[in-house]
Amino acid sequence: MSAQTYNQAIVELVQAGLSALAERKQSTKAIQTPAAESHFLCSFLVQALKERRFSKLVADDINTWIRNGRSMGAGAQLPALMQRIDEQYLALADSKQLGDKLQAMLDELDEQDWVVIIDCDVDTKLKLDSDGSASLVIDASQFEQHIDQGEVVKAINIFVRADEQQLAAAAAKHGLLLSQGNKKTSLVKHHKTYVLQPNNQQPALGLLVN
């Protein structure tokens, strides 16, 4: 039996939380307010953590959501977050030919007047003058060597300077799950690094469409 992936673990977690919340809503005595629902999910997560009910792969997510639920209450929007994760991760069931899907996304962004550069070596700090346009850069060697017959076979770093939700929507449209953006690891000034993994198997929660 193969080991559980992060994607499988996070879907299992949020589906269990949403199922428990749905059962609660069926009780006529339960207070149906965003604050009450957030408190319920926070308690559900605390209990799950104590019982070690879910994989260690999602332990950081559970701790973060408990912390946010306690400090922000309804503002943590835990039900909505779980729903987004469930919907967007299930939509990635077909994670084949990601290289072709990446190319399709790049073509579309180019048509939308993004500055798209995939023929430049990115092995040291670079600066890109895009005159205010959204921009995306992929190291040429990674683009050539980490894609084989339309499949992403090794992680690809994607450096982006743009509205993050626009990027998230474009990736989701083409069946791609990118990592969260990281400015510290970027080799292109004023850009964030996003990583595309083979088969969309991110080791942590990916970039979501709000």
- Where does residue 163 rank: exposed (0-12), middle (13-18), buried (19+ CB within 10 A)? exposed
pLDDT for 27 beyond 80: no
Distance between CA atoms of 197 and 176, rounded to whole angstroms? 9
Share the mean pLDDT of the chain. Answer: 95
| This prediction's pTM | 0.93
What confidence tens digit (pLDDT) does each residue in 46-101 have? 999 999 999 999 999 999 999 999 999 999 999 999 999 999 999 998 899 999 99
pLDDT at 159: 98
Phi–psi pair at 135, nearest 5 degrees: -140, 150
Tell me what the mean pLDDT of segment 111-125 comes to.
Answer: 96
